A and B are shown apart, each in its own frame.
Chain A
Amino acid sequence: MTVTPAADAPERPAQPLEQPRLDLAVIAEMVAHGARVLDVGCGDGALLQLLAQKKGVDGRGVELSQRGVNECVAKGLSVIQGDADTDLSDYPDDGFDYVILSQTLQATRRPRAALANMLRIGRRAIISFPNFGYWRVRAQLAFSGRMPVTGRLDYHWHDTPNIHLCTIRDFVEIVDELGAHIERGVAFDRAGAPIRFSAPWWVWNLFGEQAVFLLERGGRRP
């Protein structure tokens, strides 16, 4: 993980830009050319750089860790030190085309408020998160009786910044509650292969290790 969702999270080595993290590549593919993008929890700025290079976006970032912000500013990215839980309310309505939260939702104190703010600030929101309904997670808890530690959830229960984990089903439900609609959704298995969009939710929820959703504000599809 290149994102550092909490100030006290353990340092993780950043992956080289040449091989963007799977979910970042998918997110970049979802963003329209030249869009205005706010990346919340932008880490070392890998996604913002990717979006600038591939999509020519006008990108801004918010990052909690001083190290991350410094790395971003040193790369020439417009990034401010801030907290997804407290600082999103300062952004005006419709300030951006897309607001992105990659691998950070589970580390926010109030995920629902964060999602609502994202959909207020941008007409579209893109969220990637680890799926707690993934079969390996379920299996670890069920058969070893201990808190799961997997590739995507690589923390012990006592040092994890992930305080609000959810499953794909949980996420779909909260999107519904917020009155947003899912424009696109992608789930990946452990090998990084996408699960067919036509597959039923329970298949996604069982075999997807992580998911990326593109949401649109307001009015559900007729």
Chain B
Amino acid sequence: MSVLSEARPACSEGFAPKTVVFPPDRPLLTDGGGRIAPLAIAYETRGTLNAACSNAILLCHALTGDQYAAGVNPVTGKPGWWEAMVGPGKPFDTDRYFLICSNVVGGCMGTTGPASINPTTGKPYGVDFPVVTIRDMVRAQAMLIDHLGVETLFCVAGGSMGGMQVLQWAASYPERVFSAMPIATAAKHSAQNIAFHEVGRQAVMADPDWRSGRYQEQGVRPEKGLAVARMSAHITYLSEAALQRKFGRKLQDRSAPTFSFDADFQVENYLRYQGLAFVERFDANSYLFVTRACDYFDLAADYGGSLAMAFKDTKTRFCVVSFTSDWLYPTSDSRAIVHALNAGGASVSFVEIESDKGHDAFLLHEPMFIATTRGFLDSAANARGLAPDGTSK
């Protein structure tokens, strides 16, 4: 292999944060006509790849997620984003499966993105970074999977933007995906989805410290704009019922309103905290790029407008999951995916999980969701000939 700056990962290690760098002769050519080279992909693996290389699962992270799906995130010091689902004895069982999770291209946790150095200028890409798509993200992941020596993934799973990647994987590389779990996602971004993203981007770009995307070179950060973007997005991840239950009209550390623009209400204080915590760990330009990638996602458009054609003759086993109170990617979006899969005669299960936690439910401890995932993976593992210890039968 002409790649790279490191050896194969030692699969026996429980925890293996890695970065692979694809040299300039192996560029990522993007849908928008861009060229990203060199391309670094930061990833993490857990568990052990079996001798037949048949137990690898790719976990795809959501908009502002990262490669740290489980364990402690070294950047934030908090548990990984899918701690509820990934680990020994959990549905994505690290005692049974070899789990791979990488930071998306355009991200800011080690994979090449707008904060990376543009080799042609010697300065950060900023907004000169090629606008990437979900398909570009998946292409980069495929390069990583090739590098890891995995031909067929036992499963590709993810929620929200991660679910879009799952769908793209199943459409682009059907023979490499044994089973797929698109969760709380859609085959295309709706006008409302795009609208919310645009509000976030405008908030970032309206911050004087954004400096037309050149803030890195000028030693500033558009933190206020990015925090507002996060605050507005965060509302879309929760349900009205969850907000009401958690905060209602409760006041923050005071017994009466102050008749000012202080954060009188707990919900205001909560959102401000979410915004501030977010800017600590996320790059503003990355936020522009990953939200844009979602907006451009319309899987059917690549197949003559027919989503069913995207999955024609697929052998992949699907399990589509939605949550009742998710209004960002509502159940109707998941049903559209299910209808397309049915039309193609695919093996598909579909479960709508009862939850009042909104879009974020897929990241939380939802017993029914956990049971469904476990059942689906178990049956797929049986079909794939995987023993409970992850060896090939």
Q: Which residues of A contact B (CB under 8 A)?
A: 60, 66, 69-70, 72-82, 90-92, 95
Contacts and interface: CB of A to CB of B under 8 A. Distances in A.
Helix, strand, loop or mixed for chain A's interface? Answer: mixed
Helix, strand, loop or mixed for chain B's interface? Answer: helix
B375 A76 contact: yes
Contacts of B342: 80, 90-92, 95
Nearest to B350: A80
Contacts of B372: 70, 73-74
Interface string B339-374: 100110101111111100000000000001001101
B378 interface: yes
Interface in B140-194: none
Given A66-B351, A70-B372, A81-B352, A75 B379 contact: yes
Contacts of B368: 66, 70
Contacts of A76: 375-376, 378-380, 382-383
Nearest to B351: A69
A80 B350 CA distance: 4
Chain B: interface size category: 20 to 34
Contacts of B339: 90
Given A73-B372, A74-B374, A76-B378, A91 B343 contact: yes
Interface of B: 317, 319-320, 338-339, 342-343, 345, 347-354, 368, 371-372, 374-376, 378-380, 382-383
A92 B343 contact: yes
Nearest to A121: B342
Contacts of A90: 339, 342-343
A72 B379 CA distance: 11
A79 B347 CA distance: 9
Q: What 7 A-B pairs have minimum CB-CB distances, sorted nearest first?
A: A76-B379, A74-B375, A80-B350, A90-B339, A73-B349, A78-B347, A73-B375
B337 to A, nearest CB: 11
A117 to B, nearest CB: 13
Contacts of B379: 75-77
Given A80-B338, A95-B345, A74 B371 contact: yes
A39 B317 CA distance: 18
Nearest to B378: A76
Contact of A69 (B343, B350, B378, B382): B350
A73 B343 contact: no
A74 to B, nearest CB: 3
Contacts of A66: 351-354, 368
Contact of A75 (B343, B345, B375, B383): B375
A44 to B, nearest CB: 12
Contacts of A70: 351, 368, 371-372, 375
